[in-house]
Homo-oligomer: A and B are copies of this chain.
Amino acid sequence: MPLANEKTTAGRDDGSLRVLNGEAADRLAAISRVLTVPAGRPVMMEGAPATELYSVSQGIVSVFKLMPDGRRQITGFLYPGSFLGVTFNAETTYAYSADAVTAVTLRAYPRRDFERLLDEVPGVRRAFIAAMADELTEAQDRMLLLAHRSASERLACFLLTLAGRQAGKGGEPVDTVYIPMRGSDIADYLGLTAETVSRTLAVFRRKGIVHAERGGSIGILDRGALEALAGPLSRHI
* A136 in contact with B134 given A65-B144, A148-B191 (CB within 8 Å): no
CB distance from A214 to the nearest CB of B (A): 31
The B-contacting residues of A in range 145-190, CB under 8 angstroms, are 146-148, 190
Q: Are B140 and A129 in contact (CB under 8 A)?
A: no
* A125 in contact with B132 given A144-B73, A146-B191 (CB within 8 Å): no
B-side contacts of A135, CB under 8 Å: 136
Q: Are B126 and A88 in contact (CB under 8 A)?
A: yes
Q: Is A34 an interface residue (CB 8 A)?
A: no
B-side contacts of A228, CB under 8 Å: none
Interface size of A in residues (CB-CB distance below 8 Å): 43
* A67 in contact with B144 given A87-B133, A132-B133 (CB within 8 Å): yes
Q: Are B88 and A133 in contact (CB under 8 A)?
A: yes
Q: Are A143 and B146 in contact (CB under 8 A)?
A: yes
> Complex Cα distance A139/B63, Å?
13
Binding site for B on A (CB under 8 A): 63, 65, 67-69, 71, 73, 75, 86-89, 95-96, 118-119, 122, 125-126, 128-130, 132-137, 139-144, 146-148, 190-191, 231-234
* A119 in contact with B130 given A65-B144, A68-B234, A232-B68 (CB within 8 Å): no
Q: Residue among A128, A137, A143, A147 with the most chain B CB within 10 A?
A: A147
> Complex Cα distance A63/B87, Å?
24
Contact sample, A vs B, 6 pairs, CB 8 Å cutoff: A65-B141, A67-B233, A73-B147, A73-B148, A132-B133, A148-B191
Nearest opposing residue in chain B for A144, CB measure? B73
The 4 A-B pairs at the shortest CB distance, nearest first, are namely: A147-B191, A139-B139, A68-B232, A146-B146
Contact of A89 among B130, B190, B232 (CB under 8 A): B130
Q: Are A133 and B86 in contact (CB under 8 A)?
A: yes
> Complex Cα distance A69/B122, Å?
42
> Complex Cα distance A143/B71, Å?
13
